[in-house]
Copies of this chain bind each other. A is one copy, B any other.
């Protein structure tokens, strides 16, 4: 993954520009203590490196790079293009982004640029090229880190330059205005376009703007950021073909970027991940982000480029991590396929917006529990070195789709309670707690390797995806579909005929009418489960009803159905169940599909994931309970403690065990 690194990566974002040079020397000493071997440097340093267009000052960065090279610490060298200097906007005020109501966003923060601005792009190319040429042969350079968390903070830009770029993008996507009018359904509300110039960004209007237009604008924005990335990547790769290029995703937490489309362009997937401190079981969100990152990396190892040693600074209440939590979180990322663990940031800042964010070296210094934990973690990561380049073994697939996420949130749905990510997380939690490791996939992917594919409310489904899912089932797969899936195509246009048009043949049923429930209304499902939010009138056309609604507007009608189709089967769940109830649905599904793995011996708070290489299998066992020890089945050599287990592993509260067994020893 990182050819210039011989171990798992361990490190942080490093901002030496915030400190006098004498601190740098102490930093390197402490980094050695902690086992740091990789640092992201330069992320927001543009204004320091380029004082005016073309007027570069690399002196301080030269000194930092040399110092780190001397200390044998590698650098993920960042292009600083996430933080354009003030002079760019003095010269080109039009490079500032605009919100959908026309508000122009100002400077003084970060990421305040329009991704479609030619002036921004030209300046970004100049600084990227200057960096590449200056450090092309520097021994510290290990990887290029382009920009930072693209699209996560600034969101979509609705300025006139963006509208112009949107029109160009639309010509490419639709070819002709007739095709665009057809795709957008512009007969509705009299929106037909006769000239490209008539088309605008979807600015606020008296009522919600055409959803197909907004969907294309969402795609366009993701593509514009991707184009920024590609432009820099091309410059860097041309100068240093052997140095991998990456940027840090925010998998699962950034709605604006469709990372599936970025996948082919990534030498390496990097990810930033932050937990919601007030949320119980927030390690589930961590696993989800890790599985997503690995999926975006096509199963290859990826790099955790940022997480936190303790509290962050931007949540309503920035809860500090509990004892042992930083270790569990870090090793859980490795379990999910990360080949390195990095933090934001090395040393807590004294000023600026992030000074209350935790760091490896806290404000209170090194005589602290936090620093002792950081050093211990460095040793743990080093002890896991041999898992490098091994691959995670997934059990099931979950379809994850950005356009569905986007389109489901537009107004004017059967109920305002629809929430795409809530359903993704609910199914993910049910799978996690039954210890099934998830790969995220697209509906058009080859799914034949998975015994079970889950569709959590996949509102938008293309014709190609529809056919692919059907053929997956016919070939013996098991498909589990939740309500309001397969409703529209990629232009938010309803698949003609009864709902769910994209899936009704696969599922063997139609829906006569949606019956969204009242706020706080619950419906009985099969006498044992309770649904809310959604009910619908399912008419079977080949499928069998497995559970019926026992109350509500569809009392007596099917709530859970199964359609045997070819060699496989397709299930449909017509209401919203919580994760505990979904676990019971999964159990029903598994009764019919024994290929799906079963690990009933593990309690719900134990994480169990396997990474495997050609020679060995590594089973990660993490006890997320901070008070209870638990005995779990396990055999092998624990890389972290050197203990050899034979049949049973006692997991202390908060414990992590990584059992190595030879590949041949696996059942």
Contacts and interface: CB of A to CB of B under 8 A. Distances in A.
B189 A313 contact: no
A285 to B, nearest CB: 17
Contact of A155 (B83, B106, B206, B357): B206
8 contacts: A18-B185, A185-B350, A188-B349, A319-B515, A320-B553, A353-B411, A356-B514, A369-B513
A527 interface: no
Given A44-B188, A363-B499, A200 B111 contact: no
Interface stretch (A235-243, A487-495, A596-604, A639-647): A487-495
B203 A106 contact: yes
A354 interface: yes
A234 to B, nearest CB: 23
Contact of A90 (B190, B198, B416): B198
Interface string A186-211: 11111111110111111111111111
Contacts of A496: 350
Interface stretch (A47-55, A246-254, A443-451): A47-55
Contacts of A45: 190
Contacts of A316: 415-417, 519
A71 B593 CA distance: 56
Interface in A472-510: 491-494, 496-499, 510
Given A314-B412, A320-B514, 12 more contacts: A84-B190, A86-B200, A97-B206, A106-B202, A107-B200, A109-B206, A185-B352, A317-B516, A351-B494, A353-B411, A355-B412, A364-B510
A22 B108 CA distance: 58
Interface residues of A, number: 117
- Most chain B CB within a 10 A radius of its CB, from A45, A319, A411: A319
A414 interface: yes
Contact of A108 (B213, B357, B510, B512): B213
Given A90-B195, A191-B47, A205 B317 contact: no
A154 B206 CA distance: 5
A48 B187 contact: yes
Nearest to A535: B320
Leading 9 A-B pairs by shortest Cβ distance: A185-B351, A188-B352, A106-B203, A83-B190, A108-B209, A109-B205, A86-B198, A44-B190, A154-B206
A210 B354 CA distance: 10
Contacts of A18: 185, 187-188
Nearest to A369: B512
Given A155-B206, A207-B110, A192 B47 contact: yes
A468 interface: no
Interface string A561-592: 00000000000000000000000000000000
Contacts of A349: 185, 188, 494
B188 A491 contact: no
A367 to B, nearest CB: 8
Nearest to A533: B317
Number of copies: 3
Given A191-B108, A414-B311, A513-B320, A492 B85 contact: no
A103 interface: yes
A87 interface: yes
A637 interface: no
B210 A109 contact: yes
Interface in A85-122: 85-87, 89-90, 97, 101-112
Contacts of A258: none
- Most chain B CB within a 10 A radius of its CB, from A83, A187, A195: A187
Contact of A103 (B102, B109, B417, B492): B102
Contacts of A185: 18, 349-352
A17 interface: yes
Given A85-B192, A192-B47, A352-B185, A105 B205 contact: yes
Contacts of A369: 512-513
A278 interface: yes
A49 B412 CA distance: 27
B213 A354 contact: no
A510 B364 CA distance: 8
A190 B106 contact: no
A178 B627 CA distance: 53
A205 B207 CA distance: 25
Interface string A398-416: 0000000000000111111
